[in-house]
Amino acid sequence: MLPKKPKLLGKILLHVFLILVAVTQIYPLIWLAFFSLKDNSEIFSGDVLGLPKSFLWSNYTKALSDGNVMIYFFNSVLVTAVSIILVLILASMTGYAITRMNWKFSNAAMTLILLGMMVPIHAALLPLFMVLKNLGLLNNYWSLIIPYVAFGLPLAVFILGSFFKGIPREMEESAVIDGCGIYRTFFSIILPLVRPAIATVAIFTFLSCWNELMFAVTFINDTAYQTLTVGMMSMVGTYITQWGIIGAGLMITTIPTIIIYLLLNKQVQKSMIAGAVKG
């Protein structure tokens, strides 16, 4: 009986520690929700951390209408969705071709693609601006989609390629014997086996595109094409005394990230477990 007591105490301490970590991580989101429902007088009265005295849902209405948040939200959704789709299509096909097909320069191709992970965004900012300007692609959706896809591909190819390597060759051989072509084998057999990796790539790409500011503020000046990050930055000047509206806009920006994670967190966990087992 004696050895069990230290184990029980250790579990209790571990759970207490994890609860404290969870509260620490979740509290900023709760605080932002409360902040978005207050007015300036309540925010600057000293009760910044407490519950709102009256829930001002009108802050969200004003943020969506007067603050053009709905336009920024639509632009972010469009740019992010197209970027994720293109990254998944290109990365899955590239990773499969490099890791599962036998050709002479496959290793060199993978090395060249992975070198893209070493290029910082700030170093590519001016060259990209000049290229997009010469091509007439500034101030439209493609001025963001193209760089986002380019910078998202190296990590996506690396993750998907690692999972493709772990698939037994016998599965493809069986598919060929049954009469499957290369495309049917890829889409019907291989891709369903790497769904955790696809979910992981989708989340990473979503976060990098949704929260990106440097390209968005440099390549787009037209309000009709600006994304949420640029819109929130511009609202600080427009609504300098109405912090509740800015908080509402930030809350609207945060909600899609939470939804995406809740929908795909199980797949990401499977990806992490599979990666640990392979390692």
Identify the structural domains of the chain with CATH numbers, from first to last: 68-235 (1.10.3720.10)
Neighbours of 264 (CB within 10 A): 19
> What are the residues whose beta carbons fall under 8 Å from the beta carbon of 122, sequence distance 6 or more?
214
Cα angle 130, 110, 208 (rounded to 5 degrees) comes to: 55
Does 179 or 2 have the greater pLDDT score?
A: 179
CB-hemisphere CA count at 13 Å for 105? 4
The residue behind tokens 């809350």 is 251
Q: What is the pLDDT of residue 2?
A: 46
d(CA 124, CA 188): 38
- pLDDT tops 80 at residue 48: no
DSSP letter (8 states) at residue 190: I
Residue 224: enclosing H or E segment and its boundaries? none
Q: What is the mean pLDDT of the chain?
A: 84
* Strand ranges (E), the chain: none
Tokens matching residue 173: 């051989």
Mean pLDDT across 133-157 = 92
Mean pLDDT across 146-159 = 93
SS3 115: helix
- pLDDT tops 70 at residue 273: no
pTM of the model: 0.82
> What are the residues whose beta carbons fall under 8 Å from the beta carbon of 204, sequence distance 6 or more?
152, 155, 156, 159
Q: Which of 40, 97, 106, 95 is nearest to 246 (CA)?
A: 40
SS3 279: coil
The residue behind tokens 């496959």 is 106
Burial of residue 189, with CB atoms counted within 10 A of its CB: 0-12 exposed, 13-18 middle, 19 or more buried: middle
Q: What is the pLDDT of residue 277?
A: 45
| Biggest CA-to-CA distance, the chain | 77
d(CA 261, CA 232): 22
Least trusted range by pLDDT, from 195-199, 202-206, 208-212, 235-239 = 235-239
Q: Which of 226, 245, 227 is nearest to 236 (CA)?
A: 245
The residue behind tokens 């802050």 is 59
How far from chain centre, in Å, is Cα 94?
A: 21
Mean pLDDT across 53-78 = 84
